[in-house]
């Protein structure tokens, strides 16, 4: 019988070290060795999921096919690996406690005192064990937060116990840490790492491998020092430098430092060397773009680097497919409101308005969309961005000045965006939107159908409001066409302006289904349109898809 191996990834010294990216890279390298991998993340905060958290606090909420609202690191997992992700792939302290408390109310614990150890830790261990199985070689479990945080303790205790349950030889502990560079001393400092590993060892976890994030190369002297003080062999001190070009370089650089080899050896897995040809080709393309475009992403949370994470990644993927480097400019809606769309947006080759909630920033989005529509700049509207495109069209083409979404004005005489039946009477905020993968039927002959090259697509949703079908005919009559609907034709999933070079609004989130090796067709189409515009404006004439293909 195949025994599933477990890798636990913890982090120390500071947060935001790129644990998610590193875990995803490990997953990728193991998959490329022919192993079947499952990925999961534990988040020590008490919210049940990030769905109700502000993007300022949490960054993007990443939605899975099954409708779970998860941490953005799961986006890295999906972009790098083929591990199927479900509700079982992301657990928070809130969810763990919710389960335990539910059981307590059901009387499952038969009169025992319910405690962190063993009840909470058992629940955590069950969540880890759930991913193991006959067809799984390796489960990678990332522990969010930083060693030393009070709220991380039960998770660390659980992963320590886990090795006792399944055997030490089946578990591997990887600790990601920071080696800061002190300019005044012109030195890399290993002390914070020593302390962080010291704390792990106090809990009873001796890390097997240290991955050291650093801006300068780690010398053999520093590696030896870290190895000695942290009680690991020197070959297990792996350097991970900041990447110059792209996050997609991380797996290769870890491979070059021997990480995957070390992991399989330690876990006793016999596998061939990783098959990385397509990945190398991908990096080749990333490093040598033939063209460039600049895209404005106009959003309420644009100043936050991670608020639209998957959108930025998907734009990059669309660029890679077109041999194009995409320069993304994050623009806050308030800036458009203050300075005017013309001033802020002139010169961009494409404008993207992402999703969002609440009224703030709406007018800036509408101005940006009006600018894109009137100046014929390629436009991509996603979720709220699409809803704003419909409002903009109703206001400025149909002349319905008060057109709005009932999310922002319940009394509008033109509720072009409104709640559909199933969203009435819902009062709970968490997990109650229209969530997860749903099918959509594409209208043949539309730009979207041309991009997708198929009739039915499954895309992920996260919204309450919808385009009001009552207005479909009038909008279409004025030039805003429906390009996809739900299979029962009740919900409008894509709108387009056929007379515009590229104006597409989607009710769903295509960015969650884009991978560097499988770029999303709509992002490919959008970047291609932006490139065509740039070349037309610079007088070189538009580049056709065929000429792009022919030149490579
Ligand atoms: N606020 C809008 C709704 O709930 C859009 C949501 C989104 O952009 N994800 O429908």
Per-residue pLDDT tens digits for 469-526: 999 999 999 999 999 999 999 999 999 999 999 999 999 999 999 999 999 999 999 9
Above 60 in pLDDT, residue 253? Answer: yes
Above 50 in pLDDT, residue 546? Answer: no
Closest CA to 174 of 236, 131, 226: 236
- Active-site annotation holder among 6, 317, 511, 520: 511
Above 90 in pLDDT, residue 303? Answer: no
The two three-digit tokens of residue 221, written as one number: 């002297």
Residue tagged 């069209």 (tokens): 393
pLDDT tens readout for residues 425-455: 666 777 788 899 999 999 999 999 999 999 9
Mean pLDDT of 52-62: 85
Least confident window among 83-87, 420-424, 436-440 = 420-424
How high is the pLDDT of residue 542? 47
Closest CA to 523 of 479, 459, 465, 476: 459
What's the rounded Cα separation, in Å, for the pair 293 and 291? 7
Mean pLDDT of 59-81: 95
Concerning whether 230 is annotated as a catalytic residue, the answer is no
Average of per-residue pLDDT values in the chain: 92
- Active-site annotation holder among 383, 388, 418, 451: 383
Above 50 in pLDDT, residue 547? Answer: no
Alpha helices in 235-292 (DSSP H): 250-256, 259-267, 277-287
How high is the pLDDT of residue 548? 44
pLDDT tens readout for residues 265-295: 999 999 999 999 999 999 999 999 999 999 9
How high is the pLDDT of residue 540? 60
pLDDT tens readout for residues 318-351: 999 999 999 999 999 999 999 999 999 999 999 9
pLDDT tens readout for residues 375-403: 999 999 999 999 999 999 999 999 999 99
Above 90 in pLDDT, residue 14? Answer: no
How high is the pLDDT of residue 243? 76
Closest ligand 1 atom, residue 382 Cα: 8
CA of 383 to the centre of ligand 1 (A): 6
CA of 84 to the centre of ligand 1 (A): 26
Above 90 in pLDDT, residue 52? Answer: no
What's the rounded Cα separation, in Å, for the pair 342 and 339? 8
285, 323 contact by CB (below 8 A): yes
How high is the pLDDT of residue 549? 43
Which residues touch 526 (CB under 8 Å, ≥6 apart)?
315, 318, 350, 352, 378, 380, 502, 504
Concerning whether 463 is annotated as a catalytic residue, the answer is no
Ligand 1 pocket by C-beta < 6 Å: which residues? 355-357, 383-384, 407, 462-465
Ligand 1: residue whose CA is nearest its atom 6: 463
Above 90 in pLDDT, residue 234? Answer: yes
The two three-digit tokens of residue 473, written as one number: 């005919």
Closest ligand 1 atom, residue 385 Cα: 8
Which residues touch 107 (CB under 8 Å, ≥6 apart)?
none
Q: How confident is the model at residue 49 (pLDDT cuts 50, 70, 90)?
A: confident
How high is the pLDDT of residue 2? 67
Mean pLDDT of 408-433: 82
Mean pLDDT of 257-270: 96
Q: How confident is the model at residue 551 (pLDDT cuts 50, 70, 90)?
A: very low
Concerning whether 451 is annotated as a catalytic residue, the answer is no
CA of 298 to the centre of ligand 1 (A): 15
* Backbone angle region of 125, left / alpha / beta, with phi > 0 → left and psi within -120 to 50 → alpha: alpha
- Ligand 1 mutation target, pool 301, 356, 435, 510, most atoms within 8 A of CB: 356
What one-character-per-residue DSSP string does 373-396 give? Answer: HHTT--EEEETHHHHHHHHHHHHH
- Ligand 1 mutation target, pool 67, 463, 491, 507, most atoms within 8 A of CB: 463
CA of 315 to the centre of ligand 1 (A): 20
pLDDT tens readout for residues 26-35: 999 999 999 9
Above 80 in pLDDT, residue 300? Answer: yes
Q: How confident is the model at residue 460 (pLDDT cuts 50, 70, 90)?
A: very high
Above 90 in pLDDT, residue 128? Answer: yes
Least confident window among 170-179, 185-194, 254-263 = 185-194
378, 351 contact by CB (below 8 A): yes
């Amino acid at each position: 019988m195949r025994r599933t191996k477990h890798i636990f990834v913890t982090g120390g010294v500071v947060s935001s070290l790129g644990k998610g990216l590193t875990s995803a890279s490990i997953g990728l390298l193991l998959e490329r060795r022919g192993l079947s991998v499952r990925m999961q993340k534990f988040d020590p905060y008490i919210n049940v999921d990030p769905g109700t958290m502000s993007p300022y606090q949490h960054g993007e909420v990443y939605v899975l096919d099954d409708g779970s609202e998860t941490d953005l690191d799961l986006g890295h997992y999906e972009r790098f690996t083929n591990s199927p992700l479900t509700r079982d792939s992301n657990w928070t302290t809130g969810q763990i406690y919710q389960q335990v408390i539910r059981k307590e109310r059901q009387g499952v614990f038969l009169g025992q005192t319910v405690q962190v150890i063993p009840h909470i830790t058992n629940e955590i261990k069950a969540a880890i064990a759930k991913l193991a199985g006959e067809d799984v070689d390796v489960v990678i479990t990332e522990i969010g937060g930083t060693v030393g945080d009070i709220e991380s303790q039960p998770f660390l205790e659980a992963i320590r116990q886990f090795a006792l349950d399944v055997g030490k030889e089946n578990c591997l502990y990887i600790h990601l840490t920071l080696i800061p560079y002190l300019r005044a001393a012109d030195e890399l400092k290993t002390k914070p790492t020593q302390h962080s590993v010291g704390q792990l060892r106090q809990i009873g976890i001796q890390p097997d491998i240290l991955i050291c994030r650093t801006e300068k190369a780690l010398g053999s002297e520093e590696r030896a020092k870290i190895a000695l003080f942290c009680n690991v062999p020197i070959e297990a001190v792996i350097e991970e430098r900041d990447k110059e070009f792209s996050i997609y370089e991380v797996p290769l650089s870890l491979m070059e430092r021997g990480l995957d080899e070390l992991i399989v050896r330690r876990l006793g897995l016999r596998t061939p060397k990783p098959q990385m040809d397509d990945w190398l080709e991908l990096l080749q393309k990333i490093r040598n773009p033939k063209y460039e475009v600049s895209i404005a992403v106009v959003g309420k949370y644009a100043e936050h680097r991670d608020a639209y994470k998957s959108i930025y990644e998907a734009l990059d993927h669309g660029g890679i497919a077109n041999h194009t480097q995409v320069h993304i400019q994050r623009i806050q809606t308030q800036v458009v409101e203050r300075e005017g769309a013309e001033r802020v947006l002139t010169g961009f080759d494409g404008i993207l308005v992402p999703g969002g909630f609440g009224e703030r920033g709406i007018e800036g989005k509408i101005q940006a969309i009006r600018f894109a529509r009137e100046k014929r700049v390629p436009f991509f509207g996603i979720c709220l961005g699409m809803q704003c495109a419909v409002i903009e069209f109703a206001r400025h083409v149909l002349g319905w000045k008060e057109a709005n979404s009932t999310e922002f004005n319940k009394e509008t005489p033109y509720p072009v965006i409104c709640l559909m039946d199933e969203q009435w009477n819902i009062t709970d905020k968490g997990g109650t939107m229209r969530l997860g993968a749903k099918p959509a039927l594409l209208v043949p002959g539309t730009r979207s159908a041309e991009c997708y090259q198929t009739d039915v697509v499954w895309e992920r949703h996260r919204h309450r409001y919808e385009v009001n079908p009552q207005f479909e005919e009038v909008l279409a009559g004025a030039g805003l066409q429906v390009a996809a609907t739900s299979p029962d034709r009740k919900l409008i999933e894509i709108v387009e302006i056929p007379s515009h070079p590229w104006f597409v609004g989607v009710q769903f989130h295509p960015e969650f289904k884009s991978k560097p090796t499988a770029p999303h067709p709509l992002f490919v189409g959008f970047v291609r349109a932006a490139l065509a515009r740039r070349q037309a404006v610079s007088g070189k004439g538009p580049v056709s898809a065929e000429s792009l293909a022919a030149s490579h």
